[in-house]
Structure 1
């Protein structure tokens, strides 16, 4: 296996809704999280904000885990559209930041089509070089994932995960219902994505479609958000039989969501779950992962899966990276 990791980043104004996500120290800082995630992933330090992205309680980004376990693997950043551009090299998919779909369309149809076209081109080229693992960073993404799934015809109400132990399902459901009521009839997938989507889910699906075009078998490295990407792939004619979702045990065991029920409904059969535990870590920030915080993001599920295949000492490697981070 010759893995290439692509992290698709972008923002949605849904993340500015108070209480909807903890993927940032405050709602305003959520727009910096994706850029800082990939800056840290590639260079070992964020450039867009002074410190690494954390939750309001100081729990570190899953990029810590991904960086620790994939140091010797090639990684690319795909910028799907966001309020803050990463200060590291990236491939621009030609999208735009996602808007608050309660107030108007999340994206223009032109942006959706640009991301789909450019993402497919990228996916086709990457498939020639190795096995493509696709991750994401977009605060508020589990809410937009629910919206995308519902807009594409699935019963996803309250079934997507959360970066915190207290999944704000009632708030997410109310936000998505408001968006649906505003959007009205959704006749086709492009319109559904424009009205209720975000740039990152479209980007993940587009790259995967390109890999499929080239005869490859993409791995979607993430949680319930990747099931929304899979639903987009399916809606646009992609073969889900050749798509794998690699996720974490923290997602699989999340009783506030329904990863396996959603996967079955969408038609994702190839699932890899890696059961890492940080409960014995000497760092409190890492121990929180086993208490229902973070769960996924920045291709962590893919990184843990690859580490399991290679027999790597996961906790030791992650602690070394975290210690370096704390020390710096």
Structure 2
């Protein structure tokens, strides 16, 4: 049910933990064709807030249904909520810089939405502020937890992740995953190449130019937290790990990435090769959705969506507590059946 890479350990994952969802937006998601994490490019800015609302409430307030792809495939928040329902951990939403503010309680890092990385993603001031406030939050979480699981929601985040990895000197071009079975690698390459022009020489300048608020929020929280961390996500979490490494190389000893088999097996990307470059351990949830009763859920097995909102890490935590694949998929189907009547249309309410 869980596959390990690079000597990743799993025993500590039985600890009591907090689930932290970091949300934000980037104007990169408005580029047509670069992401399917929303029914339209414009609706991608609603996806992080709606994901957070669904994880906490089981329904969305910012839109009138859960976020879906243009083909109606549901957000991975569905998988996350189902997985966490067996555990009921403390769940925190952290706003690193979302253009749409979720209509639920959340912790604010006082960041800003990311702009188009082809020009300038973030100001230096906000880059530092997100990191510093993230560190403070991580330190506070250390007072009550030895383990945290950090998920993310930011459409087009794999593009900003690729730009960030390249800016930090890694061989990452064309190696990040995609929510679509047809990874728009050429479009991503063009966007990233333009973003990397006139790159500042200093670390903060580089990440302010090409990163996004979620990567900075995840990095900051991780740098401040004193215990073990499961970064629940795909190739975006490798970029977050790379930022963490720039500030504290030793911190990677406490970090493992928990993702899904769909990201690890994605032939259009290189999850394991990138993680080897950064030197971060990886776990993969071997969840099998072929037994689902719904086409929208089984579509994950065909390369749609793959990961997000901590789905891989959350299912790993469920499996670690004895939840079987059959039990988890049954719960996912139960939750989906309550929503399926609303999946035809994602108009803003």
Could you say which TM-score interval applies, normalised by the shorter chain? Answer: over 0.9
Of 89, 100, 112, the match for 1:96: 112
1:298 pairs with 2:336: no
Deviations 1:262-290 (A, max 9, x none): 0000111x211110111121111000000
Q: Is the 8 A contact 1:189 1:236 kept in 2?
A: no
Shift of 1:127: 2.2
Instruction: Map 1:1-328 to 2 at 5 A.
Output: 1-71=15-85, 72-102=88-118, 104-130=119-145, 131-181=147-197, 184-211=198-225, 214=226, 216-238=227-249, 239-268=251-280, 270-312=281-323, 313-326=327-340
Helix, strand or coil for the counterpart of 1:2? coil
| Secondary structure in 1 matching 2:308 | coil
CA distance in 2, matches of 1:327, 1:306: 30
Task: Give, in whole Å, the separation in 1 of the partners of 2:34 and 2:214.
Answer: 18
Name which of structure 1's ranges 160-169 and 184-193 shifts more when overlaid on structure 2: 184-193
Unaligned runs of 5+ in 1: none
| 8 A Cα contact 1:63 1:300, kept in partner | yes
Deviant stretches of 4+, over 6 Å? none
Distance 1:139 1:293 in 2: 14
Contact 2:262–2:306 at 8 Å: present in 1 too?
yes
Output the TM-score relative to the length of structure 2: 0.90
Determine if contact 1:134/1:220 at 8 Å carries over to the other structure.
yes
Instruction: Give the whole-Å Cα distance in 2 for the aligned partners of 1:73 and 1:165.
Output: 32
The CA distance in 2 between the partners of 1:218 and 1:127, in whole Å, is 11
Cα deviation, residue 327, structure 1: 5.5
Q: How many residues align?
A: 321
- Structure 2 runs not aligned, ≥5 long: 1-14, 343-349
Aligned-pair CA distance for 1:128? 2.3
Q: Is the 8 A contact 1:247 1:271 kept in 2?
A: yes
> Any idea what SS the aligned residue of 1:294 has?
coil
Higher relative contact order (CA 8 A, sep 6+): 2
TM-score (norm 1): 0.96
Backbone CA RMSD of aligned residues: 1.0
In 2: Cα distance, 1:327 partner to 1:54 partner: 13
Contact 2:65 2:339 in 1 (8 A): no
